[in-house]
Amino acid sequence: MVDLFGGNPDNPLASTVDSDDSVQLLDTTLRDGEQAPGVSLTPDEKADIARSLDRAGIEFIEAGSACTGEGERETIRQVTALDLDATVTSFARGVRNDIDLALDCGVDGVTIVVPASDKHVERKVGTTHDEVVENTGDLVAYAKDHDLWVEVIGEDGSRADLDFLERLMREALEAGADRSCYADTVGHATPETTYEYVSRLADLGPVSTHTHDDLGLGMTNVWASLAAGADLVHGTINGIGERAGNVALEEVAIALAHGYGVETMDLEQVYDLAQQVSHATGVPLPPNKAVVGENAFTHESGIHTDGTLKDDTMYEPYPPEMVGRERRLVLGKHAGRAGVRAALEEHDVDVDEEELAAIVERVKRLGDRDKRVTDADLLAIAEDVQGRERDRHVELLDLTAASGGGTPTASVRLRVGDDERVASGTGSGPVDAAVEAVRAALGSEADAQLESYHVDAITGGTDAVVTVEVEMSKGDRTVTVATSDSDITRCSVDAMVEALDRLLSTDAPSTESGPEETLADD
């Protein structure tokens, strides 16, 4: 038994949860998440995300709002046709037609949203408290008569009169609702308020919690809810949603598993899910985001790197593999000898103590200039310190790209070993076409995977210089390269060719026909 709030008997939030407690997750990425400004998911994207959520063991998936329109209903039907293990639901307003529309989509359940605060009852809907209670009971009975799982949300519940909210949810449960839901619709509540409200609702029956992060308290309010007796948490992958977003389900899941031994989902699926949702929504992951941010398992500080090399758990609360991640050691102004030596060893570069000291000093100087020290930077420094001539295997000799008016095309001339190769390609844009041309020129040697591709403008104006950073892998080797140029196509190809050269330079060129190329593009 683990105390959630520090064991202070005077703390109104003091409560416990243990590994025997059951907590379920309801994912609303496809509904509330899509309401984030600028986000619009295609039916195929929603179906693919739903499959991934189901594979990860999420118990409830809110597929959308059937009342939105026929396009949304077709999307919900596409999700329900997948025959998932999860309970697939639709958001429904407090009108019978919304339930009928949801039924027409073949969902397993509905979340019926009714006004709870005076603002919503009187000013938004223009009704009375008595009418809301009566209407809610009728809607629940109707939905249960059609064999639906039913949850009732009191919209803006955190600003509702608590006695009225309790009366409303008692009516819903007595009419047959499977559970009530506390909704902090505008992210207004403090943990103390959340605890008080959820405690009252939990006394009536099963209760869920739906929190937003406008005060930065979304996660804290989930914990207050769980302490008060909630056993189902609404949230979204990556915390996307209206305004400041919903609580991030992956954060809830890892905190419950790591801190309290409560399993809610297959955590090894978390990172892939985060990447999938980020790509589909166009909302990038902040690098410092918990669990799935780029920096979550990345170490630069010399002290931290040295400690991590000695003991994986030295500076991490849980292993990255637990959430489908890998640990990364990067170099910069804080680099130390142990980290630099480990990075060099990854590329099979042996150095003596004097050479190592010189390389560390130059890495630090580079980092002091506010520059990310990539693998290519490190290897170039090592080559210079050791006085080695670099024997390139792949070199870009010429690039031509065109994208105006028709299908974007590109041609490249590469030197590969002792051969000169020319190839062309087409793509969705000039960068894509140029990558296809490089792929064609390298043939079966292009068996490297593009893990990430990132572009930053580092100057302003129409002649802006951009930096392209790529991470590529081949087998168990990974290399990161950053290049800068005013031409994004040239910059992208330079970075990829440099990375490929680093990966392929230690391999003998293959003369046999190999597997189909796997050089990814972005």
CATH number of the domain that residue 137 is part of: 3.20.20.70
Q: Which residues form the domain of 403?
A: 394-504
Q: Are residues 192 and 149 in the same domain?
A: yes
Of 106, 104, 58, give the one whose Cα is nearest residue 85.
58
Q: Are residues 358 and 420 in the same domain?
A: no
Which band of pLDDT confidence, cut at 50, 70 and 90, is reported for residue 465? Answer: confident
Last-in-domain residue among 364, 386, 408: 386
User: Which conformational region is residue 481 in: left (phi greater than 0), alpha (psi within -120 to 50 degrees), or beta?
Assistant: beta
Q: Taking residues 201-224, what's their average pLDDT?
A: 97
pLDDT tens per residue across span 265-323:
999 999 999 999 999 999 999 989 999 988 888 765 555 555 565 666 677 888 989 99
pLDDT tens per residue across span 487-510:
888 989 988 888 888 787 655 333
Q: Are residues 74 and 161 in the same domain?
A: yes
For residue 487, the one-letter residue type is: D
Which band of pLDDT confidence, cut at 50, 70 and 90, is reported for residue 8? Answer: low
pLDDT tens per residue across span 230-245:
999 999 999 999 999 9
pLDDT-wise least confident of 232-236, 292-296, 376-380, 429-433:
376-380
What's residue 187's pLDDT? 96
Number of structural domains the chain divides into: 3
What's residue 511's pLDDT? 31
Q: Are residues 424 and 364 in the same domain?
A: no
Q: Are residues 51 and 148 in the same domain?
A: yes
Q: Are residues 173 and 225 in the same domain?
A: yes
Of 279, 285, 292, give the one whose Cα is nearest residue 252.
292
Instruction: Indicate if the pLDDT at residue 371 is higher than 70.
Output: no
What's residue 476's pLDDT? 63
Does the residue 14 lie in any domain? Answer: no
Last-in-domain residue among 386, 419, 437: 386
Does the residue 126 lie in any domain? Answer: yes
Within 8 A by CB and 6+ apart from 269, the residues are 52, 55, 56, 57, 324
Instruction: Indicate if the pLDDT at residue 180 is higher than 80.
Output: yes
Instruction: Indicate if the pLDDT at residue 124 is higher than 50.
Output: yes
Does the residue 229 lie in any domain? Answer: yes
Does the residue 499 lie in any domain? Answer: yes
Last-in-domain residue among 386, 406, 436: 386
Tokens of 329: 């050691």
pLDDT-wise least confident of 145-149, 155-159, 337-341:
337-341
User: Distance between CA 138 and CA 142 in Å, rounded?
Assistant: 6
What's residue 167's pLDDT? 98
Does the residue 293 lie in any domain? Answer: no
pLDDT-wise least confident of 4-8, 217-221, 465-469, 478-482:
4-8
**Does residue 474 contact residue 448 with C-beta atoms inside 8 Å?**
yes
Instruction: Indicate if the pLDDT at residue 55 is higher than 80.
Output: yes
Q: Mean pLDDT for the chain?
A: 86
CA distances from residue 386 to 167, 199, 332, 353, 390 in whole angstroms, order as listed: 78, 68, 20, 12, 11
Does the residue 520 lie in any domain? Answer: no
Q: Taking residues 141-151, what's their average pLDDT?
A: 98
> Number of helices (H) and strands (E), helices first, in the chain?
16, 18
What's residue 296's pLDDT? 84
Within 8 A by CB and 6+ apart from 78, the residues are 43, 44, 46, 47
What's residue 522's pLDDT? 32
Q: Taking residues 139-156, what's their average pLDDT?
A: 98
Instruction: Indicate if the pLDDT at residue 49 is higher than 60.
Output: yes
CA distances from residue 352 to 337, 344, 364, 386 in whole angstroms, order as listed: 12, 12, 18, 10
User: Distance between CA 409 and CA 402 in Å, rounded?
Assistant: 5
CATH of the domain at 428: 3.30.160.270
What's residue 310's pLDDT? 63
What's residue 510's pLDDT? 36
pLDDT-wise least confident of 69-78, 172-181, 251-260, 489-498:
489-498
Q: Are residues 382 and 403 in the same domain?
A: no
Does the residue 15 lie in any domain? Answer: no
Does the residue 13 lie in any domain? Answer: no
Q: Are residues 222 and 348 in the same domain?
A: no
What's residue 16's pLDDT? 58
Q: Are residues 55 and 176 in the same domain?
A: yes
What's residue 382's pLDDT? 86
